[in-house]
């Protein structure tokens, strides 16, 4: 992917819900990929592997709780995929 998009700023993000095994997450982190998470638990697993990885985390999904959003903001993740107007207001 990096080669295909070498002329465009981009990030390749692994979907943690596919397999959240710590060994897999370590491997992905070592490849300098980002992470797509859909829960606070997935975020915690990524941070368990690499505290600095928060800067490469995209938080997606419609089921984010306010507490999970606070947790992600505190960790200083890269970005949220906002799924609704109410979610946007919760982040404001």
Q: Is residue 7 part of a domain?
A: no
Tokens of 12: 């390749």
Q: Is residue 81 part of a domain?
A: yes
Residue 54 domain boundaries: 13-91
pLDDT at position 6 is: 85
Distance between CA 53 and CA 42 in Å, rounded?
A: 12
Number of domains in the chain: 1
Q: Is residue 58 part of a domain?
A: yes
Q: Is residue 2 part of a domain?
A: no
pLDDT at position 29 is: 94
The length of the chain, given as a count of residues: 92
Q: From first to last of its 92 residues, what are the pLDDT tens digits of the chain?
A: 778 888 998 889 999 999 999 999 999 999 989 999 999 999 999 999 999 999 999 999 998 999 999 999 999 999 999 999 999 999 98
Q: Is residue 54 part of a domain?
A: yes
């Amino acid at each position: 992917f990096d080669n295909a998009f070498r002329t465009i700023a981009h990030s390749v993000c692994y979907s943690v819900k596919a397999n959240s095994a710590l060994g897999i997450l370590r491997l992905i982190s070592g490849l300098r990929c980002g992470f797509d998470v859909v829960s606070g638990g997935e975020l915690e697993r990524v941070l368990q592997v690499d505290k600095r990885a928060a800067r490469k985390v995209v938080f997606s999904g419609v089921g984010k709780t306010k507490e999970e959003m606070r947790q992600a903001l505190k960790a200083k993740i890269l970005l949220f995929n906002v799924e609704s107007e109410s979610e946007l207001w919760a982040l404001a």
